[in-house]
């Protein structure tokens, strides 16, 4: 999704006032009163941000910024967005009272993708490459998480060099970027683009070996 806007200038400080008013369990009256401000001050800057990032690199053009109705209370208190890179491979952004977080995720995968993932992790070429990518991301401050099997994967030795990666049924690498003054300026575009670039080796591996789309 490409949206032509007036450009991204950062989240206004008033965006945090809106989210603070929606914190906890806001009443229907509060949610309705904040609806327009939330759209203009919280959601629209996310649209503008991702449009600006896509202007830098067309790889990030297919993005979606969630809209929310009146029944999902927590959804009012955070603004989510994704950039689709392949089937079930996405970059994810979250803006809330703690600031901005960015992650790369392979999730909601069908069984055939999980099998392709395991085959690629076990492979003597693609497997070590993923392990090296994950180690580098950890050194760069990303948290590696996901849905894991409770035990080592059946059919592989318990001491397999990539036993931990084989247990994954989803794989997520995320980092919280914070909410310092840059978030109120166009500098946030550079922060997000740089983070996407750091995550690119992981998303490329997942698209090439797992998504196949």
Alpha helices in 39-158 (DSSP H): 44-56, 73-76, 111-122, 126-139
Rounded Cα gap, residues 152 and 200, in angstroms = 28
Cα 73 to Cα 93: distance, rounded to the nearest angstrom = 19
**What pLDDT shows up at residue 156?**
80
Please give the pLDDT value at position 3: 42
Domains of the chain: 14-211 (3.30.930.20)
Per-residue pLDDT of the chain (213 residues; tens, 9 = 90+): 444 445 899 999 999 999 999 998 889 899 999 999 999 999 999 999 999 999 999 999 999 999 876 555 568 889 999 999 999 999 999 999 999 999 999 999 999 999 999 999 999 999 999 999 999 999 999 999 999 988 777 778 878 899 999 999 999 999 999 999 999 999 999 999 999 999 999 999 999 999 975
Helix (H, G, I), strand (E, B) or coil at 125: coil
pTM of the model: 0.91
Q: What is the dihedral angle through the alpha carbons of 114, 208, 93, 138, rounded to the nearest 10 degrees?
A: 80
């Amino acid at each position: 999704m490409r949206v032509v806007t007036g450009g991204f200038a950062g989240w206004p400080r008033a965006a945090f006032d809106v989210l603070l008013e929606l914190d906890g369990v806001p009443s229907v009256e509060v949610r309705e009163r904040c609806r327009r401000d939330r759209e203009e001050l919280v959601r629209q800057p996310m649209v503008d941000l991702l449009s600006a990032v896509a202007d830098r690199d067309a790889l990030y053009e297919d993005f979606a910024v969630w809209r929310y109705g009146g029944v999902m209370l927590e959804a009012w208190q955070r603004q989510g967005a994704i950039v689709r890179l392949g089937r079930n491979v996405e970059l994810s952004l979250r803006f809330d009272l703690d600031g901005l977080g960015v992650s790369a995720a392979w999730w909601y995968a069908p069984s055939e993708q999980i099998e392709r993932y395991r085959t690629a992790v076990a492979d003597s070429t693609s497997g070590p490459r993923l392990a090296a990518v994950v180690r580098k991301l950890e050194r760069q401050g990303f948290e590696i998480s996901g849905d894991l099997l409770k035990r080592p994967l059946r059919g592989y030795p318990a001491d397999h060099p990539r036993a931990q990666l084989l247990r994954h049924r989803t794989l997520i690498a995320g980092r919280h970027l914070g909410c310092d003054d840059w978030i109120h300026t166009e500098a946030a575009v550079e922060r997000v683009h740089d983070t996407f670039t750091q995550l690119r080796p992981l998303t490329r591996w997942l698209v090439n070996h797992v998504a196949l789309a």
